[in-house]
Amino acid sequence: MLDWLPENVSTFGEGVDHLFHVIYYISVAIFILVNVIYVAFIIRYRRKRKGDKAYHYHGYNLLEVSWTALPLALFLFLALYSDRVWQDIRYSEKTPNPDLVVEVMGQQYLWHFRYPGSDGVFGRKHIRFISTTNPFGIDPDDPAGRDDLLTVNSMHIPVNKTVLVRLSSMDVIHSFFLPNMRVKQDAVPGQWIDVWFNSVKTGEYEIACAELCGSGHYLMRAVLDVHSQNEFDQWIDEQHENVRASIAAAGAAPDNATLAAQPDDRQSPTE
Ligand SMILES: [Cu+2]
């Protein structure tokens, strides 16, 4: 009945899917119960003779207490029942040591990704440096930030590794949604929010924005490439090589192209 869910390739996906099933079937049962009672009452208490008068009463404590207490009990049960999965996924002290940290920045209507450079460190960043050409606000004075690797709408990770995403947004609230990883987290401007996952299968997966963030919301899709460790190392070495080459080229030429102001062109990404 629930085989329309996207393929789960996340280490904690089974727990999420199990909760989804439990909540789904509880909802279906309540839906059927309510509608059967509803139809039965319509038939049983219909007007049978001309002149029948509706029975009117005011206040019924038992009924009011029970329609408050039953949902309360149900939600309490669900809160406690889901707590273990929630802790595993969202409690920072339960996050496994990450093998890879990637920064993700939402922008109307694309996803920016940032990896540390070949030095293995992220350069300093500050919100005042954020611009369309510097989405993460990398401090231009910090040498550690010059070789940082930036990609747009394309995220690469190794398989079977814990990936920690540091998530933010440079304009409105977006939602970082990896259906196959069972990850969905709001990206909030001015905040960095951590979210982790571990993919057990290589392949290409969808990254979507799950927050109606503007007229181009539907455009806000990216690809998550899950590689074998070898393939990933190869990819990132290549990227680092490209970054080094462009730094060398910029060093040879006068320092202008990278820092030139560009018009604000968020409405029509050219990717
Ligand atoms: Cu969005």
pLDDT of residue 1: 61
- Tens digits of residue pLDDT in 103-114: 999 999 999 999
pTM above 0.85, yes or no: no
Nearest by Cα to 157 from 264, 91, 207, 229? 229
Mean pLDDT of the chain: 89
* Distance from residue 151's CA to the centre of ligand 1 (Å): 17
Q: How far does the centroid of ligand 1 lie from the alpha carbon of residue 193, in Å? A: 16
230-253 mean pLDDT: 89
Q: Which one has a higher pLDDT value, 53 or 38? A: 38
- Between the alpha carbon of residue 94 and those of residues 84, 85, 89, 151, the distances in Å are 11, 11, 8, 29
Tell me how far the alpha carbon of residue 169 lies from the centroid of ligand 1, in angstroms. Answer: 9
> Does residue 265 carry a pLDDT above 50?
no
Instruction: Say which residue the tokens 């960095």 belong to.
Output: 192
Q: How far apart are CA 209 and CA 70, in angstroms?
A: 35
Burial class (CB in 10 A: 0-12, 13-18, 19+), 221: middle
Residue % of the chain over a pLDDT of 70: 92
The mean-pLDDT minimum among 51-60, 141-150, 192-201 falls in 51-60
Ligand 1 (ion): residues with CB under 5 Å are 174, 209, 213, 220
- 60 CA distance to ligand 1 centroid (A)? 47
Rounded Cα distance, 108 and 264, in Å? 11
- Contact in structure between 139 and 129 (CB atoms under 8 Å): yes
Mean pLDDT of 179-201: 95
Integer distance in angstroms from the first to the last C-alpha of the chain? 38
Q: How do the domains of the chain map onto residue ranges?
A: 13-45+60-90, 98-259
Which residue's entry shows tokens 């009463």? 57
What pLDDT is recorded for position 49? 87
Sheet containing strand 183-187, strands side by side: 154-158, 221-227, 203-209, 174-178, 183-187
Asked whether the predicted pLDDT for residue 264 surpasses 80, the reply is no
pLDDT in tens, 1-24: 678 899 999 999 999 999 999 999
Residue 220 alpha carbon to ligand 1 centre in Å: 6
| Position 268 confidence tier, pLDDT thresholds 50, 70, 90 | very low
> DSSP assignment, residue 46?
S
Q: What is the pLDDT of residue 54?
A: 81
Mean of pLDDT values over 80-86: 93
pLDDT at 47: 86
Kindly indicate the confidence band of residue 50, based on its pLDDT and cuts at 50, 70 and 90: confident
Which helix (H) or strand (E) is 223 found in, with range? strand 221-227
> Rounded mean pLDDT of 52-79?
91
Q: Which of 108, 112, 135 is nearest to 216 (CA)?
A: 108
- What are 127's two structure tokens? 């919100």
Both structure tokens of 49: 């003779």
Distance 126 CA to ligand 1 centre (A): 22
Average the pLDDT over each of 9-23, 25-39, 251-265 and give the range with the smallest value.
251-265
CATH dotted code for 98-259:
2.60.40.420
Q: How many angstroms is it from 219 CA to the middle of ligand 1? A: 9
Q: What percent of the chain has pLDDT over 90?
A: 70
Residue 94: pLDDT band (50, 70, 90) is confident
Under DSSP, the state recorded for 45 is T
Report CA Rg, the chain: 26
| pLDDT value at residue 254 | 53
Nearest to 146 by CA among 35, 247, 256: 247
| Long-range contacts (CB closer than 8 Å, 24 or more residues apart) made by 137-140 | 140/259
How far is Cα of residue 227 from the mean position of the Cα atoms in its chain?
20
